[in-house]
Chains A and B, each alone.
Chain A
C-alpha cells in the first residue's frame, strides 16, 4: 500500500490529508469550544451570536468555581482529594492485579484456566451498569458503603485490563521465562524483573483506560456513598451542573468541564504510542 501511494504520488495523499483534517477539526471542535468556553468572561458566555474562540480570556470562571464550593458544606478540595486518591489507588491496584492475573493466565498451566478465560471473555461485553442493583447489595452486604474500598475494589474486577494484559504477555516468548527458570530464577523474580519491564506498553494502556473510567465515574459516589465527604469530583461536577441554574451555573460548568477533561487528555498524550503498540496484540481469537 505504501508503494501504491508513492506511485500516484502526492495528489491522493493531499486530498486525504485535507479530508482527514476537516474531519479531525469537526471532531475537535467541541473540545476547542470547551477550552475556550472555560476562559470566557460572562458577557462572552452569553454572547449573541455565540463565538467559539475566546476574545478576552479570564480566570474568573475558575474563581467562581472555588468560591461556590467553599460556600458549601464540603470544600472543593475535598472532592479533588478524593478523586486524586481514588484514581491513584485504583490505577496502581488494577495494574498490579491485571499484570499478575495476565501473567499467570498466559504463561502458567493449571486447573480452571479455560473456565476463567471464558468467564473473562463473556464479561468483556457487559456494561457493569447492568447489574447495579446486585452490586449495591453486595457492597452494602460487605459493609463497604462510605469507604474507599467501594470506590476502588469494583474497578479491580476489570476484564478488559486483564484481557489486554494477557494478550500482550502471550507474545512474550516462552523461552525467556524457561531460560530464567533454568538459571534458577524464582517465580517472583521472573515476574518482577522480566515481566513487569516487558509489559510497559500494556501497563500504560491499562492505566489510561482505568484512569479514564475511575476519574469520570459517578456510579460509586451516587450509589455507595451516603456521606458527602466521600464523594468524588466527577459526582460534584455532575450535581453542580444539574443543580446550579442560570448565570453562575454556566460559568462554573464551563470551568469544570475543562477540569474533568484535561487529566485524561494529558495521560493520553503521554502514552499514545504505547497504547497503539498494545493494541497490536489485543485480538480475540
Chain B
C-alpha cells in the first residue's frame, strides 16, 4: 500500500473509507490510521529501536541462520543443515569433555552462589543504621567496577606461581607447602580460582537491585507477621522479605544469569592465555572465541552461540518458575 492514501485518510474524516470496500482493507486502513496517530510515540522510540534491531535482533537472527551453514568469513555461507549441532554432540571432544562440564560447574556455583551472596549481604547491610550503609555498599560493589586489567594485576599477583606470589608466600611461611605451587597453570586449581574471583566481582547491579528491593518492603508486615506467629528473622526473611521484593529478586536473577554466562574472559585475564592449560578453565565463551577468532569457523561458532542463547533462555524460565509461583498476585 502506498503511503499517500492513508495520510489523506487521516486528515480527512472517517467517511472517506468506502463502506463497500472489503473488510481486510478497512482493517488495514484502520490499523495504519492508528499507527499514524501514534507517530510521535514511534518517533520517540526510533533511536533505541533502530539500534536495538541492528545490533541485537538482526545479529541474533543471523547467528541462528549462520549456525546451519559453513562459513569462514570469505566465501558465501553454504547451507549444511543441523550438521554443526550433531558434530557438537558427537565429534567435538573438547566441547563434551571440557567446555560443557566446566560451564555447568561454573554456572551452578557462581550463578546461585553469587545470587545468594548478594542477597545475604544486601540483607545484612539493610540491618545497619542508615548513615553507615553507604560505606558498606561501596565496599561490596567496588569489585564489580574494576575492569579486566585490575583483575589481572591484583589476582595474578596473589596467585602467581613463584615464591613471591601472595598465596604461595603465606602458605610457605605457615609451612603448609614445601615448594611454590603454579596456581594458575595447574588445571586442578584454575577452576576454583576462577570461581572465587568471579564471586568477588558478582555484587553488581543485581546486588544494588536487592538493596533497593529491601527498602520497598512494608515494615508493618513484620509486625503483622509477629502476630501471626513468626518467631525468628529467618522466618521473617522467608515469609515476608523475599515475597515482598519478588520483582527485584527476578531482576537480579536475570542479571546474575547474564553475568555468569558471559564470564569467559576471566580465565584469559588470569592466565594470559587464550586457551587455558588442559582446557581447565575453558568455558563456552572461550570455545566460541576459539572457533570464531582462531580457527575462523564462523558457522560452528554461531552454532555454539545459539546453544548459549538457548541455555540462558532456559535458565531465565527456570528463575521465573522459582520466583513466579510464590505468592502470586
Contact = CB atoms under 8 A, between A and B. Distances in A.
Interface of A: 1-5, 13, 16-17, 19-21, 23-25, 27-28, 30-31, 33-34, 37, 46, 48-50, 93, 96-98, 100-101, 103-105, 108-111, 116, 119-120, 122-135, 137-138, 142, 153-154, 156-157, 159-160, 162, 187, 191, 209, 212, 215-216, 218, 234, 237-238, 241-242, 253-254, 256-258, 260-261, 264-265, 268-269, 272-273, 275-285
A27 B143 contact: yes
Q: Which 9 A-B pairs have the closest CB atoms?
A: A283-B247, A279-B212, A127-B262, A24-B139, A134-B62, A134-B59, A110-B38, A216-B147, A131-B59
Contact of A285 (B40, B155, B247, B292): B247
A99 B4 CA distance: 32
Given A260-B149, A260-B150, A261-B150, A279 B54 contact: no
B145 A265 contact: yes
B213 A1 contact: no
Given A4-B233, A241-B152, A28 B49 contact: no
Nearest to A212: B145
Interface string B249-262: 01100100110011
Interface string B54-66: 1111111011001
A50 B154 contact: no
A131 B213 CA distance: 32
Interface of B: 31, 34-35, 38, 40-42, 44-45, 47-49, 51-52, 54-60, 62-63, 66, 121, 124-125, 127-129, 132, 134-143, 145-150, 152-155, 157-158, 163-164, 166, 169, 173, 200, 203, 205, 208-213, 215-216, 219, 222-223, 233, 236, 245-248, 250-251, 254, 257-258, 261-262, 264, 272, 285, 288, 292, 298, 301-302, 305, 308-309, 312-313, 315-316
A245 to B, nearest CB: 10
Most-contacted residue by chain A among B56, B57, B129, B264 (CB, 10 A) = B56
28 contacts: A1-B233, A16-B127, A16-B128, A20-B121, A24-B139, A30-B150, A31-B154, A33-B154, A37-B157, A48-B169, A109-B38, A110-B42, A111-B34, A111-B38, A116-B45, A116-B49, A134-B59, A157-B55, A238-B148, A254-B153, A261-B145, A265-B142, A265-B145, A269-B138, A273-B134, A276-B208, A283-B246, A285-B250
A238 to B, nearest CB: 6
Contacts of B41: 104, 108, 110
A135 B258 contact: no
Contacts of B205: 160, 209, 279
Given A50-B166, A116-B45, A268 B66 contact: no
A251 B125 CA distance: 36
A1 B219 contact: yes
A135 B153 contact: no
Nearest to B212: A279
Contacts of B52: 119-120, 123, 157, 159
Given A116-B49, A135-B55, A156-B47, A34 B154 contact: yes
A123 B56 contact: yes
A242 B208 contact: no
A282 B248 contact: yes
A272 B142 contact: no
A110 to B, nearest CB: 4
Contacts, number: 291
Given A20-B136, A24-B135, 11 more contacts: A19-B124, A28-B139, A34-B146, A100-B48, A101-B45, A116-B49, A254-B153, A264-B147, A272-B137, A280-B216, A284-B254
Given A129-B262, A280-B212, A96 B47 contact: yes
B155 A125 contact: no
B54 A131 contact: no
A154 B59 CA distance: 11
A157 B48 contact: yes
A50 B159 CA distance: 12
A5 B127 contact: yes
Contacts of B48: 97-98, 100-101, 156-157, 162
Given A1-B222, A125-B312, A104 B45 contact: yes
A68 B152 CA distance: 20
Given A111-B38, A130-B309, A254-B153, A16 B124 contact: yes
A20 B66 CA distance: 49
Contacts of A2: 219
Given A5-B127, A24-B135, A153 B45 contact: no
A126 B246 CA distance: 21
Contacts of B309: 126, 130-131
Given A1-B222, A17-B128, A122-B313, A127 B261 contact: yes
A4 to B, nearest CB: 7
A38 to B, nearest CB: 9
Given A5-B127, A216-B148, A104 B301 contact: no
A27 B63 contact: no
A130 B262 contact: yes
Given A134-B302, A280-B216, A154 B51 contact: yes
Contacts of A269: 138
Contacts of A265: 142, 145
